[in-house]
Amino acid sequence: MDPVAIAASSEVIAEVGGVPEGEEPLPGLLDRLRDAGRRIALAPAAANGPVDPSRTDPISDPPIVILSAVPMHDVGGGSRATQLALEFVRRGYHVTYVAWYGTQESADLGLRFIHPHLEQVRADSFDPAGLIARVAGPGLVVVEIPASVYRSPVEALQTKDWTAVYDVIDDWSDPALGGEWYDADTEAWFAQAADHVIASAIDLANRMERMGVGAVLVPNAVNTDLFGRAADRELPHDFPEGDGPVFGYVGSLYGEWFDWEALNRVGAAFPDARVVVIGDNKAGHPMMPPNVSFLGLKAQFELPPYIQRFDVGLLPFAVSDMTHAVSPLKVYEYLASGVPVAAPPLRALDGLDGVSVDKDLVEAVRRALDGDRPDATSVINQHSWKERVTKIVDLAGVASTGESTSVRIVRRPATHYAKNARVVEA
């Protein structure tokens, strides 16, 4: 689609950051309106020649490309790639976020991420050459999934002196994670071709060492724009009633790593407690005690008033090679909210204050209840995404020009019109 003219209110134009600079601003403005979830009515016009809707508006801030598996709104906007993108933008970088897959969630929360220095594209639409033509100099490309679809973009960017970082966030060789797309030779190529390799867990760093590549440990962290602030006094409308302690879990609810039996035992062992489970329960769950409540998928920015009411944050993971290689992002959100954590003995949790571990999750909960609440300020100072991004940009040597505003996140679900309402005859 080649935009010839765009009509929008001044309020909408202001929301998306204005009209992009350059001689051909309309493709960029169309992208900004789309990313903001604004409804667009089309008035077809005869083509005057070959259609080229590519963006040519210049990028003045230092550019960063994130090559991810899923879009920013997946898992309620709480993924590592999304958190990195939000912090990079806030730090004054221009981020192009590329997603290979669509979302796998059963619920559409309608999340929109709005900022003039954030672009969101699908892998099959990403044009490295077009991006290179828009920037003043080389930037940073962060690869979060070693898929063959991303090899060509990385090669194209490195040819223009971009710095490549392979961010190892999972052991993709596990069939439960890499599935049919994983290829060991392709991952080895990314690890060897990258200028730097970082890993979210010590087991992943060790795995890179066995591949002959050194990796810097950069665990997950907490979004300090959301967590660790003053308590929200308003009780969420769907929070279960009761007077007993509250044990809560926030995260994904599928895969071999989730320990349903442990969650069941916690509910049965503390019948007076309220066990709150927040996440997309698309695959269903085994029978649970009556005090276990499933509240569904929620946007990350909706989580603080729930987590602030937890007496213990749960991590009901089965202990395996897969889970030892996980850096549980939710643990940092619990701790930054002053909530002690009960978890199995995973190596990625070693040394974290405020985390009680035991092979029996019930015993870990008892220890967490009896212990002191963690120092939220200390957690925020040590484990913020700001600290993690500082480590990445210092490693890569890509400085920003100064801080920017935070990305605005809104809920604006897509509107689906009936066929007879989609076309208006002239």
Same domain, 337 and 308: yes
Q: What is the pLDDT of residue 426?
A: 57
Average pLDDT, the chain: 94
Q: What is the pLDDT of residue 50?
A: 66
Same domain, 133 and 258: no
Q: What is the pLDDT of residues 32-51, one digit of tens each?
A: 999 999 988 888 877 776 66
Distance CA 147, CA 169 (A): 13
pLDDT, average across residues 411-423: 83
Distance CA 359, CA 363 (A): 8
- Percentage of the chain modeled with pLDDT above 90: 82
Buried b (16+ CB within 10 A) or exposed e, 10-48: eeeeebbbebbeeeebbbbbbbbbebbbbeeeeeeeeee
Q: State yes or no: pLDDT of 131 exceeds 70.
A: yes
Give a yes or no: residue 199 inside a domain.
yes
Q: State yes or no: pLDDT of 122 exceeds 80.
A: yes
Q: How confident is the model at residue 3 (pLDDT cuts 50, 70, 90)?
A: confident
Q: What is the pLDDT of residue 179?
A: 86
The CATH code of the domain that includes 281 is 3.40.50.2000
Same domain, 33 and 93: no
Q: State yes or no: pLDDT of 186 exceeds 80.
A: yes
Range of the domain at 313: 246-381
Q: How confident is the model at residue 344 (pLDDT cuts 50, 70, 90)?
A: very high
Q: State yes or no: pLDDT of 127 exceeds 70.
A: yes
Q: What is the pLDDT of residues 133-177, one digit of tens each?
A: 999 999 999 999 999 999 999 999 999 999 999 999 999 999 988
Q: What is the pLDDT of residue 1?
A: 67
Residues 6+ apart with CB under 8 A from 152: 128
How does strand 94-99 pair with strand 111-114? unpaired
Same domain, 324 and 363: yes
Q: What is the pLDDT of residues 303-316, one digit of tens each?
A: 999 999 999 999 99
Same domain, 301 and 349: yes
DSSP 8-state symbol, 347? G
Same domain, 90 and 217: yes
Phi, psi of 138 (to 5 degrees): -70, 160
| Beta carbons of 41 and 17 less than 8 angstroms apart | no
Number of domains into which the chain is organized: 3
Q: What is the pLDDT of residue 150?
A: 98
Calculate ∠ Cα 54-15-125, nearest 5°.
Answer: 25
| Beta carbons of 134 and 55 less than 8 angstroms apart | yes
Q: State yes or no: pLDDT of 416 exceeds 90.
A: no
Give a yes or no: residue 172 inside a domain.
yes
Q: What is the pLDDT of residue 268?
A: 98
Q: How confident is the model at residue 232 (pLDDT cuts 50, 70, 90)?
A: low
Give a yes or no: residue 91 inside a domain.
yes
Token pair listed for 320: 């395996």
DSSP 8-state symbol, 231? P
pLDDT, average across residues 234-255: 93
Same domain, 47 and 80: no
Give a yes or no: residue 228 inside a domain.
no
Q: How confident is the model at residue 349 (pLDDT cuts 50, 70, 90)?
A: very high
Give a yes or no: residue 418 inside a domain.
no
| Beta carbons of 52 and 128 less than 8 angstroms apart | no
Q: What is the pLDDT of residue 96?
A: 98
Burial of residue 328 (number of CB atoms within 10 Å: 0-12, 13-18, 19+): buried
